[in-house]
Amino acid sequence: MAGDTMTQFPTGIGTSDADHISLLGHDLAGELLGSLTFGELAYWLATKRRPTPSQLRVFDAVLVSLADHGFTPTAIAARLTLYSAPDSLQGAIAAGLLGGGSRFLGVTEDTGTFLHASVADLGDTAGWDDAAWDELATSTLTAARGAGKRIPGLGHPVHKVTDPRTAVMFAIADEEGLKGPHLRLFEAIGRVHPEIIGRTLPLNGAGVAGAALADAGLPLALLRGFALLARTAGLIGHLAEELEDPIGPDVYATVDRNAVYTSNALEQKE
Amino acid sequence: MAGDTMTQFPTGIGTSDADHISLLGHDLAGELLGSLTFGELAYWLATKRRPTPSQLRVFDAVLVSLADHGFTPTAIAARLTLYSAPDSLQGAIAAGLLGGGSRFLGVTEDTGTFLHASVADLGDTAGWDDAAWDELATSTLTAARGAGKRIPGLGHPVHKVTDPRTAVMFAIADEEGLKGPHLRLFEAIGRVHPEIIGRTLPLNGAGVAGAALADAGLPLALLRGFALLARTAGLIGHLAEELEDPIGPDVYATVDRNAVYTSNALEQKE
Amino acid sequence: MAGDTMTQFPTGIGTSDADHISLLGHDLAGELLGSLTFGELAYWLATKRRPTPSQLRVFDAVLVSLADHGFTPTAIAARLTLYSAPDSLQGAIAAGLLGGGSRFLGVTEDTGTFLHASVADLGDTAGWDDAAWDELATSTLTAARGAGKRIPGLGHPVHKVTDPRTAVMFAIADEEGLKGPHLRLFEAIGRVHPEIIGRTLPLNGAGVAGAALADAGLPLALLRGFALLARTAGLIGHLAEELEDPIGPDVYATVDRNAVYTSNALEQKE
Amino acid sequence: MAGDTMTQFPTGIGTSDADHISLLGHDLAGELLGSLTFGELAYWLATKRRPTPSQLRVFDAVLVSLADHGFTPTAIAARLTLYSAPDSLQGAIAAGLLGGGSRFLGVTEDTGTFLHASVADLGDTAGWDDAAWDELATSTLTAARGAGKRIPGLGHPVHKVTDPRTAVMFAIADEEGLKGPHLRLFEAIGRVHPEIIGRTLPLNGAGVAGAALADAGLPLALLRGFALLARTAGLIGHLAEELEDPIGPDVYATVDRNAVYTSNALEQKE
């Protein structure tokens, strides 16, 4: 930064002056407002490419599939935070999003990344049949097992046999011509994994979401971001309900009244 | 909480069992996936009512209008957080949302609340003409001035004469038959405020967003929440760009290298 | 910001160059490390004044009194966040702090501010006896009741008769010669409130903390900040325990398994 | 969770009933208030062991050394958040802590963990001389280089030759009899690294903090937590200053006014 040169800050997102607001190179007021949905804008902002109608339908479906899963730890944390700090809705949403890490929301990202490592350099796979994908799935899983890696996207604590979202997401992507290499490989993993890992697990909804987002053209580094965007809508639903019909006080009371003091937790480290 | 009775936790959002996921009383996989947009789900989650197509178009337009305003303090804070903690995308998004307080995003909520206080008990205003709304606007502003209150939704640091979003949002609401009492009163405030406050200010985009959301049936207590949802998409755009073409290091360097130590900041409190 | 002038960013906290780090105008390595406690530095950073030993003892005692209250909603939220996102300790701490709003931690700030409004312009009160303070307390409470304001610092959900921290904090401040006007007024409120509000409540520990911090010279605008600093230590304790002996999974299971779907929560808004 | 059995939630931190508050198995009001410092409580909460005076002196020194580094990205993010949402001090502190990730605050944790991997199974090293430590340091660095791993705790963007905190922290630990295997190995790394990595770098302050905390008995999984606790005090200092003498508006203006729209950021992904 030379003494008399201002640092410049480049951006391709938006600019404004006294009379105009430009977003992604387009006139926000004259061109965009009223003519695109929020989901379409979210895709566009993340990729700097406007989605095709097919890409948008898959993207919307994935966001819908990820928006809520009932009383998750993150929904409970957001509700407890609103109970403690009712003056700060942004704090409650932020607290809920902060649980969007490796254990729950991370599956979407991890699955996309895991699949991408195997398909990134494949070239044209348009002519591949199921047997070809099964072969790739087998070698991918065998390598992962050999390296002691967990295989993301397999299994679910509640949906132990079938996750109801999975088949529907495959069908939507297929209808839209977007069942690409990530979804094809993921589907093949569903077929071949029992003989490799020794038990049969369902392909889960968070995993298929990651595969579908990758085939719909979304960047891998942001897959967790889309899970967080979807979850923001779910958290607003939970907080709206908490304002009307709170569970925060009962969660607090349930834990606090059933607390037991354990001096051996104390001893064990001394 | 009686000794042998389990506390129950009521919710109308979602439930699931081994084979089904229910969201808002509907089968997520069978009914919802692929047949509604993310914006529609967000409206539905927040209100427990599925929006009409008109309500949804206004809602989508408002979210699009609020998603980004370039290098706002919150976008800069999110980018700096990603620079410091690149391993936690959720932390960067949360940091950006935490700036969603009174000064910037609060205008949407404040305007909705301010207008609602005047229109909540009006009964049927279908037959009101502009003169009637102007009269209400005049009494509302006069009362606010008398009580020393700030009038939300007026003025903008950059758009000093006209905020380009405002007229477009009025037009969209009008097309959809949703230019209700909040927007009508806000429009009248635009006409009458110069003679009351002594200068002419534009109706700003955040204010018209609050009025439009209220007329589209969204709950006032959550208006800030929708601004935060919209901003989440904008923050993902900023963070996607930061991953490719970072400004965080230059913001840090610009501030750090131009820091001046001021011992009188020290003295002044001693 | 003229075209060729760099904006400067003033600070009295710290600077550094290749060989030195200066903190609050002192040489960090040569003067400060090893010669002051963390509490002393925290006071100094917040006020730009080094505390006297008496101020520091009161400050440390207040921080100790506020550090933990068992399974509060914020401690539970932090533990749930760590369970969801074990890769981000900073996210779990941040989630816990975000509950530091009006309902729980706000009492410290509210009490300090409430008392300060009555004592700020008193001049020298060194000669005041209890009767004089009782008179001020009576007029303060009467005015607050007349204005429909809540009186902060009175009552506690668990300690219904006496909060054990209160008398000890008064005694420590007295020993240190720091029982000033905020604590004197708060003590008088303890004596006179039954005849004004019609029932007898204990002076609570969060309230006495606010009064004691104000008398120890800490700025009112930051009283919530000290409660948050104290709570950060408590949250680290909870998260250390959660890493060894987690309750997060059981809190989640308890809420999730006792969820009941209430379609009337749905109806009530339609 | 059987149908009629309440889940219990164990904790060794604190409990309370109508008349008592117990913290870490001690009477908060009767035993602890006024008789221990905040730093001592923080150590105790994290470890469930009360520190020795020597451990406490090292712990306080480390917290002091980590509390502030001027206008770091996290301090700037906290200030921008306060500017945007002045109504939520907890949000500004949380935003600042969320930058406490791998790039900056992570060094303390990474260094502690890196050193611990080499010293955990050493047995008694009381009789080791510098040559023995140098040998271990050489094999540790050689193995890390061979595995392509970064060596944490070496180098600093500003203190290119010597970090002034490092020698002082070694001296304090030595005075207190707490220069244990982590610090001895770190010191040896300072001696031997030039011949292994081909250039001479300083042992940095964040690294020595991690080594000192480990030798003072703090758990490795929480080293980042102590850096965050220290930083909370620093952030309160920054926010106190921001309330009096804000830089947030100037940071925003500097970035926003020097924004340049880059359509090629747009192209590059299409």
Which one of A4, A76, A231 would you mutate to disrupt binding with C, by most C Cβ within 10 Å of its Cβ?
Answer: A76
Structure tokens at B117: 């206080």
Q: Which residue has the tokens 């640092």?
A: A7
Asked whether C83 and C121 are in contact (CB, 8 A), the reply is no
Residues of C in contact with B49 (CB under 8 A): 269-270
CB contact under 8 A, B64 and A28: yes
Question: Which of C88, C245, C251 lies nearest to residue A101, judging by beta carbons?
Answer: C88
CB contact under 8 A, D269 and A10: no
Name the neighbours of C, counting chains with at least 3 Cβ pairs within 8 A.
A, B, D
Which one of D17, D55, D63, D64 would you mutate to disrupt binding with C, by most C Cβ within 10 Å of its Cβ?
Answer: D64
Q: What is the pLDDT of residue C4?
A: 47
Structure tokens at B192: 């009458």
Residues of D in contact with C7 (CB under 8 A): 250, 253-254
Q: Within a domain: residue A265? A: no
CB contact under 8 A, C160 and D18: yes
Q: What is the pLDDT of residue A2?
A: 41
- pLDDT by residue (tens digit) across C185-211? 999 999 999 999 999 999 999 999 999
CB contact under 8 A, C225 and D237: no
Distance CA B43, CA D255 (A): 34
Name the neighbours of D, counting chains with at least 3 Cβ pairs within 8 A.
A, B, C
The CA distance from A268 to the nearest CA of chain B, in Å, is 31
The CA distance from A195 to the nearest CA of chain B, in Å, is 24
Q: What is the pLDDT of residue A106?
A: 86
- β-pair partners for A26: A23
Q: Within a domain: residue D211? A: yes
Structure tokens at D101: 């990730």
CATH number at residue C133: 1.10.230.10
* Residue D5 scores a pLDDT above 90: no
Q: What is the pLDDT of residue C6?
A: 74
The CA distance from B46 to the nearest CA of chain C, in Å, is 11
Sequence letter at residue B29: A
Band of the pLDDT at D101, cuts 50, 70, 90? confident
Distance CA A237, CA B44 (A): 8
A102, exposed or middle or buried, with CB in 10 Å at 0-12, 13-18, 19+?
middle
CB contact under 8 A, C266 and B24: yes
- ipTM of this complex > 0.90? yes
Asked whether A181 and A221 are in contact (CB, 8 A), the reply is no
Structure tokens at A149: 């890696």
Q: Within a domain: residue B66? A: no
Asked whether B199 and B39 are in contact (CB, 8 A), the reply is no
Nearest C-alpha neighbor of A189 from the set A263, A259, A115? A115
Q: Give the chain A residue nearest B20 (alpha carbons).
A: A164
Name the neighbours of A, counting chains with at least 3 Cβ pairs within 8 A.
B, C, D
Q: Within a domain: residue D115? A: yes
Sequence letter at residue C123: G
Question: Which of C38, C89, C237 lies nearest to residue D39, judging by beta carbons?
Answer: C38
Q: What is the pLDDT of residue B1?
A: 40
Give how far Cα D238 sits from Cα of C51, D2, D186, Å.
18, 51, 32
Band of the pLDDT at C33, cuts 50, 70, 90? very high
The CA distance from D258 to the nearest CA of chain B, in Å, is 10
Distance CA A82, CA A6 (A): 43
The CA distance from B130 to the nearest CA of chain C, in Å, is 31
Pairing state between β A9-11 and D259-261: parallel
CB contact under 8 A, A98 and C95: yes
E-only strand ranges, A37-184? none
What is the DSSP code string of chain D? Answer: --TT----EEESSEEE-SS-EEETTEEIIIIITTTS-HHHHHHHHHHSSPPPHHHHHHHHHHHHHHS--SS-HHHHHHHHHHHH-TT-HHHHHHHHHTT-STTTTHHHHHHHHHHHHHHTT----TT--HHHHHHHHHHHHHHHHHTT---TTB--SS-SS--HHHHHHHHHHHHTT---HHHHHHHHHHHHHHHHHSS--PBPHHHHHHHHHHHTT--GGGHHHHHHHHHHHHHHHHHHHHHHS--HHHHHHHHHHTEEE-HHHHHTT-
E-only strand ranges, chain A? 9-11, 14-16, 21-23, 26-27, 259-261
Distance CA D229, CA A139 (A): 47
Q: Give the chain C residue nearest D68 (alpha carbons).
A: C14
Which residue blocks in chain B are alpha helix, DSSP H?
38-47, 53-66, 73-84, 89-98, 106-119, 130-146, 164-175, 181-197, 205-215, 223-244, 248-257, 263-267
CB contact under 8 A, D258 and A87: no
Q: Within a domain: residue C251? A: no
CB contact under 8 A, B81 and D95: yes
Please tell me the total count of domains within chain C: 1
- pLDDT by residue (tens digit) across B213-251? 999 999 999 999 999 999 999 999 999 999 999 999 999
Structure tokens at A70: 């009932």
The CA distance from B221 to the nearest CA of chain D, in Å, is 17
CB contact under 8 A, C250 and D32: no
3-class SS string, A146-187: HCCCCCCCECCCCCCCCCHHHHHHHHHHHHCCCCCHHHHHHH
Residues of A in contact with D266 (CB under 8 A): 12, 24-25, 48
Q: What is the pLDDT of residue A264?
A: 52
Query: How many other β-carbons are positioned within 10 Å of the β-carbon of residue A268?
Result: 12
* Residue C1 scores a pLDDT above 90: no
Question: Which of B12, B24, B264 lies nearest to residue C262, judging by beta carbons?
Answer: B12
Give how far Cα A3 sits from Cα of B53, C4, D109, D210, D256, Å.
56, 9, 37, 37, 20
The mean pLDDT of chain C is 92
DSSP state of C206: H
Question: Which of D7, D260, D265 lies nearest to residue A8, judging by beta carbons?
Answer: D260
**D14-41 burial string, b = 16+ CB within 10 Å, else e?**
bbbeeeebbbbeeebbeebbbebbbbbb
- Measured CB to CB, residues of chain B less than 8 Å from chain D are 4, 6, 70-74, 76-77, 80-81, 83-88, 91-92, 94-95, 98-106, 241, 244-245, 247-248, 251-252, 254-256, 259, 262, 265, 268-269
Which residue numbers in chain A have pLDDT < 70?
1-5, 264-270
* Residue D77 scores a pLDDT above 60: yes
Query: How many other β-carbons are positioned within 10 Å of the β-carbon of residue B220?
Result: 17
Question: Which of C7, C48, C260 lies nearest to residue B10, judging by beta carbons?
Answer: C260
Q: Give the chain A residue nearest D94 (alpha carbons).
A: A91
Asked whether D263 and A15 are in contact (CB, 8 A), the reply is no
The CA distance from A140 to the nearest CA of chain B, in Å, is 26
Section B9-15 average pLDDT: 91
The CA distance from A124 to the nearest CA of chain C, in Å, is 37
Collect all residues with Cβ–Cβ distance below 8 Å to D148 and sequence separation of at least 6.
none
Q: What is the pLDDT of residue A223?
A: 94
The CA distance from A55 to the nearest CA of chain B, in Å, is 12
Task: Give me the count of residues in chain B.
Answer: 270
- Measured CB to CB, residues of chain D less than 8 Å from chain A are 6-12, 15, 22, 24-25, 47-49, 85, 87-88, 90-91, 94, 98, 255, 258-266, 269-270
Which helix (H) or strand (E) segment holds residue A98: the answer is helix A89-98
What is the DSSP code string of C10-71? Answer: EESSEEE-SS-EEETTEEIIIIITTTS-HHHHHHHHHHSSPPPHHHHHHHHHHHHHHS--SS
Q: What is the pLDDT of residue A202?
A: 97
pTM of the full predicted structure? 0.95
Q: How far is CA C195 from the centre of its chain?
A: 29
Residues of D in contact with B4 (CB under 8 A): 4
- pLDDT by residue (tens digit) across A173-205? 999 999 999 999 999 999 999 999 999 999 999
- pLDDT by residue (tens digit) across B162-219? 999 999 999 999 999 999 999 999 999 999 999 999 999 999 999 999 999 999 999 9
- Measured CB to CB, residues of chain B less than 8 Å from chain C are 6-12, 15, 22, 24-25, 47-49, 85, 87-88, 90-91, 94, 98, 255, 258-266, 269-270
Pairing state between β C259-261 and B9-11: parallel
Q: Which residue has the tokens 């009964």?
A: B123
Q: Within a domain: residue D150? A: yes
- pLDDT by residue (tens digit) across B96-123? 999 987 777 789 999 999 999 999 999 8
Distance CA B100, CA B83 (A): 20
Collect all residues with Cβ–Cβ distance below 8 Å to C212 and sequence separation of at least 6.
C58, C61, C62, C169, C172, C173, C178, C182, C183
Distance CA A95, CA A156 (A): 24
- pLDDT by residue (tens digit) across C50-99? 999 999 999 999 999 999 989 999 999 999 999 999 989 999 999 999 99
CB contact under 8 A, B84 and D99: yes
Which one of C69, C89, C98, C261 would you mutate to disrupt binding with A, by most A Cβ within 10 Å of its Cβ?
Answer: C98
Band of the pLDDT at D54, cuts 50, 70, 90? very high
Band of the pLDDT at B85, cuts 50, 70, 90? very high
Band of the pLDDT at C5, cuts 50, 70, 90? low
Section C152-167 average pLDDT: 92
Which residue blocks in C160-222 are alpha helix, DSSP H?
164-175, 181-197, 205-215
How many CA atoms are closer than 13 Å to the CA of D211, on its beta-carbon side?
Answer: 34
Which one of A4, A7, A80, A231 would you mutate to disrupt binding with C, by most C Cβ within 10 Å of its Cβ?
Answer: A80
Provide the 3-class DSSP secondary structure of residue A21.
strand
Question: Which of B45, B69, B99 lies nearest to residue A236, judging by beta carbons?
Answer: B45
Positive or negative torsion for Cα B194, B198, B204, B206: negative
Pairing state between β B26-27 and B259-261: unpaired
CB contact under 8 A, A101 and C87: yes
Q: Which residue has the tokens 């981000």?
A: C88
DSSP state of B154: B
Distance CA C100, CA D93 (A): 11
Give how far Cα B72 sits from Cα of B62, C140, D97, D253, Å.
18, 43, 20, 9
Q: Within a domain: residue B175? A: yes
CB contact under 8 A, D48 and A260: no
The CA distance from A86 to the nearest CA of chain C, in Å, is 7
Positive or negative torsion for Cα B125, B126, B132, B133: positive
- pLDDT by residue (tens digit) across B145-170? 999 999 999 999 889 999 999 999 99
Positive or negative torsion for Cα A27, A29, A35, A41: positive
- pLDDT by residue (tens digit) across B30-73? 999 999 999 999 999 999 999 999 999 999 999 999 999 899 99
Q: Which residue has the tokens 């200030």?
A: D79
Distance CA B10, CA D144 (A): 53
**C184-223 burial string, b = 16+ CB within 10 Å, else e?**
bbbbbbbebbeeeeeeebbbbbbbbbbbbbbbbbbbbbbb
Nearest C-alpha neighbor of A230 from the set A253, A248, A212, A247? A212
Q: Within a domain: residue B183? A: yes
Give the domain extent around D132: 108-217
Nearest C-alpha neighbor of C200 from the set C171, C165, C161? C161
Nearest C-alpha neighbor of C229 from the set C107, C21, C17, C46? C46
Asked whether B137 and B194 are in contact (CB, 8 A), the reply is no
Query: How many other β-carbons are positioned within 10 Å of the β-carbon of residue A167?
Result: 13
Question: Which of B6, B76, B81 lies nearest to residue D98, judging by beta carbons?
Answer: B81
Section C9-28 average pLDDT: 91
CB contact under 8 A, B221 and A229: no
